Each structure stands twice: as C-alpha cells, then as structure tokens.
Amino acid sequence: MKIKVRSPGSATIINAISTGCGSAFGIELFVDAEVRLKSGEGITCRTDQEVDTTLMEICAKQVLKKFDVESRVEIRTESTLPVASGLSSSSAVSNAVTMALTNALEDEYEIDAVNVGLDDLGILNLAVDSSLEAGVTVTGAFDDASASYFGGISVTDNFQREIIRHEKWDMQNILIYMPDKKSPTAEADVARMKLLAPWVKLAFKEVLKGNIHQALTLNGLLYCSALHFDPDIALDALGAGAVAAGLSGTGPSFVAITDEENSRNVEDAWKSYPGRVIKTKVDNQGTQVIARE
C-alpha cells in the first residue's frame, strides 16, 4: 500500500502569535509525503532536506493511535518549500503525513477514517496537535495549517481552533524574498510580539472587512519591528509597485503581491538584497492525495 499526498505552504496575512487570531493563504510551493505500509512494526522517515524528522514520526504515531493498529510505516517527503522560512513548512509536513497515513490505513484495514475522528477537520486538528508536540509552533499555527489544508484564504481563531472564514482567492502573482538564513518559529521572541497586540487587532479587522492587501502590509511591518527585520525590504517592494508586502510568519521571508505589470520591478528591487526571489501563485486546492497504489 502506497499513498502520496501533496500539501501547499502558506504565506501570512495576519500572524496569530500576538493575539491568537490569524490569517494566511495557500501558495504553490509544496511538501509531498509518500507513505508505504509493510508488515511488521516501526516508523522510518526520510526526507530530501536536512531536517529533523521528529515531526513526521509524531504525526505517524498519532494516526496509528487513532486507528488503534500496529503497522510498519515508511515515510518519505520531498519539498519545494524552504524550511524555517515563515512559509508554513511544518504545517505542510504535518498535514501531508497525517492525511497520507490516514488514507493508507483506511484502505489497508477497511476502516472508515470518519469513524475514528479523522474527517477533514479531524486530520487538520491531529496535524496541529503533532506540530505542538514537536515544538515547531507557538500557537499551533491553526491559521497556517488550515490555509495549507484547504487552500485559499483562511481566517481563524487559533486558540479556539475555529475557522472564522475560508474562501478561494483569485490567482494573485506572488513574489517571495528568501534571505540566506533560517528563522525557526519556536525561537522567536513571543513576549516582544505580544506587545503588538493592539495594532495587530486593527490589521485583523481589515481582514474581516476584506481588505487583505492592507492587512498583510500592516501586519508585516509591525512584526518587522518586533523581530528586528528590515522594513525597507517591504517598502522597496511597495515602491516598485507591489499592492501589498510584508514579513511572512516570523520571517525571514517576505511576501509581495503584484500585478503582471509590476512583478519584474519588484523582483529587480529585491535583487539588491542577499538571497533569492521565488515566483509563485495562490494555491486554492489545498492538501490532497495525488497518487494511490
């Protein structure tokens, strides 16, 4: 039995760490998780990137516990999504592995996943639980995880694990500036970010009004100040014609939304900074099975 699942990363509209409420949208950079079931017991994890596989192992253990079965599980992930970048790589991994193993066990043991609490929201919540247990997130990143799982824009209350709003988003042109460094979320200064709460709440109100571009930019500039990132990176993008630009997650990546006419101008503006620029688009498909054998 082999199942392969593809899960997109996401970019930040509102970072939930300061208030508990957040918003994110799926992007066309992916983690693919392939799960194989074999006779015996044990969990083996491999990845194409030099990352700790603890999160993958925890996801697998959680799913096996839900199904109350024992099986030998082999997991392999491949990714076009940079790790520790503020683009929800951990959420994409946990979503992909959790969904892939759920589908594999469902087929192998002929057990309806819904009957063990693993409908879509069940899978999503189990993936978030695994991320929290692995220590790769501060709030559980329910906003990032739900945008990765369902695609499009997700607006959430992370503490209540509630999706306030979910909607598809038209195919915006997305540019991501990726510096030559990593910034793990778990190492971010939470106390400093919580100082931003009154102003992040203002940005969140803009999301609820549908003013996504304004909210993303305000949020991104606020978190730049708290986390000591250079706001000029976002301002240069805006000066080059971006309709929105700001820090994604806890950095170090920045995201800009542009029209076709100004995309090259923004890219050129960012070439003066060390690192690379990634072109992508909004993902509205979310996490899904792409192969089954």
Q: Give me the phi and psi of 285, to 5 degrees please.
A: -90, -35
Instruction: Summarize pLDDT for 195-216 with one digit per residue, the tens.
Output: 999 999 999 999 999 999 999 9
Compute the average pLDDT of residues 3-28. 97
Name the pTM for this structure: 0.95
Measured CA to CA, the distance from residue 127 to residue 104 in angstroms comes to 16
CA 152 to chain centre: 12
Helices (H) and strands (E) in the chain, counts: 9, 11
pLDDT greater than 80 at residue 139: no
pLDDT at 88 over 90: yes
The percent of residues in the chain predicted with pLDDT above 90, rounded, is: 88
CA angle centred on 235, ends 80 and 81, rounded to 5°:
5
Count CA within 13 A, CB hemisphere, residue 287: 34
CATH topology of domain 2-168+283-292: Ribosomal Protein S5; domain 2 (3.30.230)
Report yes or no: 90 and 55 within 8 Å, Cβ to Cβ.
yes
The topology (CATH level 3) of 173-281 is Alpha-Beta Plaits (3.30.70)
Query: Apex CA 245: angle with CA 240 and CA 251, to 5°?
Result: 130
Portions of the chain given CATH number 3.30.230.10 = 2-168+283-292
What would the mean pLDDT of 32-50 be, rounded to a whole number? 94
Looking at residue 180, what is its pLDDT?
A: 84
Of residues 138 and 242, more confidently modeled: 242
Q: Per-residue pLDDT tens for 92-134?
A: 999 999 999 999 999 999 999 999 999 999 999 999 999 999 9
Confidence of residue 185 (pLDDT cuts 50, 70, 90): low
**Separation of alpha carbons 144 and 88, rounded Å:** 6
Q: What are phi and psi of 190, to 5 degrees?
A: -65, -45
In the chain, residues under CATH classification 3.30.70.890 are 173-281
285, 8 contact by CB (below 8 A)? yes
Whether residue 175 is predicted with pLDDT greater than 90 in this model: the reply is yes
Beta bridge partners of 255: 176, 246
Mean pLDDT of the chain: 94
Residue 162 has pLDDT above 90, yes or no: yes
